[in-house]
Amino acid sequence: MTIKQKYDLWVNEPKMPDYLKEELLKMDNTQMEEAFIKDLEFGTGGLRGIIGAGTNRMNVFTVRKTSLGFANYLALDPKNKKKGIAIAHDNRHFSTEFAKEVAEVFANQGFKVYLFKELRPTPMLSFAIRYYGCAGGVMLTASHNPKEYNGYKVYNASGSQLNLKESDLCIAEVNKVKDMFNIETAKDSKLIVPVLEEVEAAYFEKVKKIQINETSKSANILYSPLHGTGLTVVPRLLEEMGYNVLVYNPHAFVDPDFSNTKNANPESPEAWQGMAEVALNHDVDAIILTDPDTDRTGISVRDGNNYVLLNGNQGAALTVYYLLSQRKSNKKLEKNGYVYSTIVTSDLIGEIGKSFGQNSVRVLTGFKFIGEQALKIEGKAKFQFGCEEAIGSVIEDFVRDKDGVQQTLMYAEIASWLKDKGMTFIDYLHEIYEKYGYYLEYTHNLVLTGLDGAQKIIEIMDYVRANGITLKDYKLVKYEDYKESKVYFPGGKTEVLDMYQSNVLKFYFDNKMWVIFRPSGTEPKLKIYFSVVEKSQHDAEEVLNKVVREVLEFTNKI
């Protein structure tokens, strides 16, 4: 079917809501092509796209189609209907409506549905799946994407996002659904059970137990939910644990338009605008932001009269070092536990883990791979920590996804522990660097939107895959092609790369330096990651800046 034929089918559909029909009628040829060029695809975080009309957009019809396909996939095991499914949503446009649609599609297929009555964080949905013994779950969220987006995260019975095999089977069932306009739904079904208070109380009880040290709770915390789901749980949790928390007022209301922030991503400096002045006025030790669905956590720490925004690698290093060192001090450190990180995360995380006698395991980007590993060691070994460089982590694996609630509580504990010792986060970070080396990382996001942008990303990846990269002052040690599952060495030697296939290229140079090229699975970006390690901060900064300039000059010529 051509793009025009797809468009005609939609614009002439009798069941098309007025607001989508109006959008369709206003489309020019470029907008039509972008809306119908393909069906929304699963990336590292599930289904995610711009809200609007079309097969390549998030709307009531693509949500129903995906839900029916997911229901049919789960129904391959008849017992799953009785086990049921948990459904939650964030603050975005149509999230509440989409969650209701998902529930009604599943109920019509005979599934028991545990539907959250109000918006709540993604990690609570992951927890709810195992709490109720569900066969799976759905979270309606676009995480940190701009306000024009929404998304559909799909979870398995372990509380983790579907692994690659499960995703393939689910997508096959979704693709079998040919008529998205006539999918039956069960409105007001008794199979749909509203939930909230019970599961939330159980989740809070688990989160509170991650505390390691009884501190004075002396640290002052400024917190922002960025207009999202964190507002519903984080301030209450911190207060119940005895911490001094001030909620940043301009962000302290649920808002799908993110009216008082220029960016919904805590990794972006724009998200933090206005907060440092308030923090100084209230003698704040740390500013903490969670993204709209509260699975990711950013932290900005006091350094004199300034606040320094830590990147995800630094935050993870501080956390895992604190967790392992304090568990050891308290004689509660299990041997041969596991620390998980991704292939784009700083090597420092793994080095810290190994120094405390833990197994350090790397996985592909996407927290579903950490969730998959957590399931493998369940009942056999201790899950110590899991993280990715994009400010996502989980401390205790009663949640099998990133958990910004856990991380926020742990940052508050670390802040008070350090304050009791007369130290700052910066002092602590340098203590870690002095012990393990000065690891510095940088991620360059090459944003390439639209169809032309998607094609340009393909061209760059193809060119780098065929020609590699060179650095003037550094020797290539090897490079890994995750798409071909091969490791290539200078001189022609190759090895099999024992990891899932993915369109990622990782180049290792001497001096423990590496550069990675990876298209984003959820956004129109080509991500280029850099990591260096030197004996001093000055040397690390100098090398990193030089290498970044050199690689970006090369990339711009492609």
Helical residues (DSSP H) of 292-403, grouped into ranges: 312-329, 347-355, 367-377
Assigned token pair, 164:
């690659």
Residue 46: per-residue pLDDT: 74
**Average confidence (pLDDT) over 181-189:** 96
**Average confidence (pLDDT) over 309-317:** 97
**Average confidence (pLDDT) over 456-468:** 95
CA 329, CA 388: separation in Å to the nearest integer? 26
List all residues 6 or more positions away from 271 whose beta carbon is below 8 Å from its beta carbon. 224, 226, 261, 262, 263, 264, 265, 289, 298
Place of tokens 């900005």: 300
List the 286-290 sheet strands across, edge first. Answer: 244-247, 220-224, 286-290, 297-303, 306-309
pLDDT above 70 covers a percentage of the chain that reads 99
Mind giving me the DSSP string for 456-501?
Answer: HHHHHHHHHHHH---BTTB-EEEEEETTTTEEE-TTS-EEE--S--
Residue 43: per-residue pLDDT: 62
Residue environment code for 315-337, b if the CB has 16+ CB neighbours within 10 A, otherwise e: bbbbbbbbbbbbbeeeeebeeeb
* pLDDT class of 79 with cuts at 50, 70, 90: very high
Burial class of residue 33 in the structure, from the number of CB atoms within 10 Å of its CB (0-12 exposed, 13-18 middle, 19+ buried): middle
Residue 178 has pLDDT above 70, yes or no: yes
Residue 452 has pLDDT above 90, yes or no: no
Residue 451: per-residue pLDDT: 80
Residue 416: per-residue pLDDT: 98
List all residues 6 or more positions away from 141 whose beta carbon is below 8 Å from its beta carbon. 89, 90, 92, 95, 122, 150, 151, 153, 292, 293
Give kind and range of the element (H or E) at residue 441. Answer: strand 438-447
How far, in Å, are 323, 325, 326, 351 from residue 331 at the CA level? 12, 10, 8, 21
**DSSP bridge partners of 414:** none
67, 95, 126, 143: the active-site residue: 143
Least confident among 48-57, 191-200, 513-522? 513-522
Residue 521 has pLDDT above 90, yes or no: no
Residue 522 has pLDDT above 80, yes or no: no
**Contact in structure between 234 and 251 (CB atoms under 8 Å):** no
Which tens digits make up the pLDDT trace of 237-293? 999 999 999 999 999 999 999 999 999 999 999 999 999 999 999 999 999 999 999
Residue 44 has pLDDT above 60, yes or no: no
**Average confidence (pLDDT) over 480-497:** 96
Place of tokens 């060691």: 377
**Average confidence (pLDDT) over 494-519:** 96
* pLDDT class of 449 with cuts at 50, 70, 90: confident
Residue environment code for 244-268, b if the CB has 16+ CB neighbours within 10 A, otherwise e: bbbbbeebbeebbebebbebbbbbb
**Average confidence (pLDDT) over 521-546:** 93
The most confident of 206-210, 500-504, 521-525, by mean pLDDT: 206-210
pTM for the full predicted model: 0.96
Burial class of residue 110 in the structure, from the number of CB atoms within 10 Å of its CB (0-12 exposed, 13-18 middle, 19+ buried): middle
Residue 404: per-residue pLDDT: 98
**Mean pLDDT of all residues belonging to the chain:** 96
CA 504, CA 90: separation in Å to the nearest integer? 30
Which tens digits make up the pLDDT trace of 152-165? 999 999 999 999 89
Residue 45 has pLDDT above 70, yes or no: no
Residue 520: per-residue pLDDT: 86
Please say if 143 is a catalytic residue.
Answer: yes
Q: By C-alpha distance, which of 486, 487, 469, 470 is closest to 478?
A: 487
